[in-house]
Chains A and B, each alone.
Chain A
Amino acid sequence: AQSVAQPEDQVNVAEGNPLTVKCTYSVSGNPYLFWYVQYPNRGLQFLLKYITGDNLVKGSYGFEAEFNKSQTSFHLKKPSALVSDSALYFCAVYSGNTPLVFGKGTRLSVIA
């Protein structure tokens, strides 16, 4: 069975500093990996995805993520955090014909 782990419930970072939100996964075949962001009282918004090709994927709002097959990771990164980046972030994976599986989420708090 496929699974996603987001080991940190909460990440705190100062505005202007780089941020990383961690994600590791487990699948039986080739992984397709996604990051979504959830702002209060709003739906999940798509940030970026890895399907194939370049391991570094660039997405919306200056976010990027690096696919690392040997470490089965897909960490979300941003060089310089903004207060407006504060939200709940979800990593998700699927492989083959199985449904999309989400992690439990990481709350990012960017402090001015």
Chain B
Amino acid sequence: GAGVSQSPRYKVTKRGQDVALRCDPISGHVSLYWYRQALGQGPEFLTYFNYEAQQDKSGLPNDRFSAERPEGSISTLTIQRTEQRDSAMYRCASSRASGIPDTQYFGPGTRLTVL
């Protein structure tokens, strides 16, 4: 596609529910990144993949958060048993090459609100 796409753009859920956020990277991009952005802050790294392999998940806040990219393209970030503190903008980015410092291109984000 022309750019990184994310769905849904907005998600409102009740505390305790599971949510799945989807990211479709730029076609052919090797690396895919997930970030979380709180209001008034910059994006914070969560995890990233090269192809289908999860390379670094050090930014995932706890074991309720998980991510996968089973075929090396689309990725899903899953949050189990959501809590109000999970409310944030979740951003996905992709880059052409697996080595740094390649440029990351961002999607529009998913705004998650946990009631």
Contact = CB atoms under 8 A, between A and B. Distances in A.
Interface string B29-57: 00001000000111111001000000010
A41 B9 CA distance: 10
A99 B106 contact: no
A42 B58 CA distance: 27
B100 A105 contact: no
B25 interface: no
B66 to A, nearest CB: 17
A45 B106 contact: yes
Q: Is the interface of A mostly helix, strand, loop or mixed?
A: strand
A100 B37 CA distance: 13
Contacts of B100: 32, 94, 97
Contact of B59 (A43, A51, A99, A102): A99
Nearest to B56: A99
Contacts of A94: 100-101
Nearest to B107: A43
A102 B41 CA distance: 9
B104 A100 contact: yes
Q: How large is the interface on A (under 10, 10 to 19, 20 to 34, 35 or more residues)?
A: 20 to 34
Contacts of A41: 108
B41 A99 contact: no
A67 interface: no
Interface of B: 4, 33, 40-45, 48, 56, 58-59, 91, 93, 100-101, 103-109
Given A92-B42, A94-B100, A97-B100, 16 more contacts: A32-B100, A36-B106, A43-B91, A43-B107, A43-B108, A44-B43, A45-B106, A46-B103, A46-B105, A49-B103, A51-B101, A100-B45, A102-B43, A102-B44, A105-B40, A105-B41
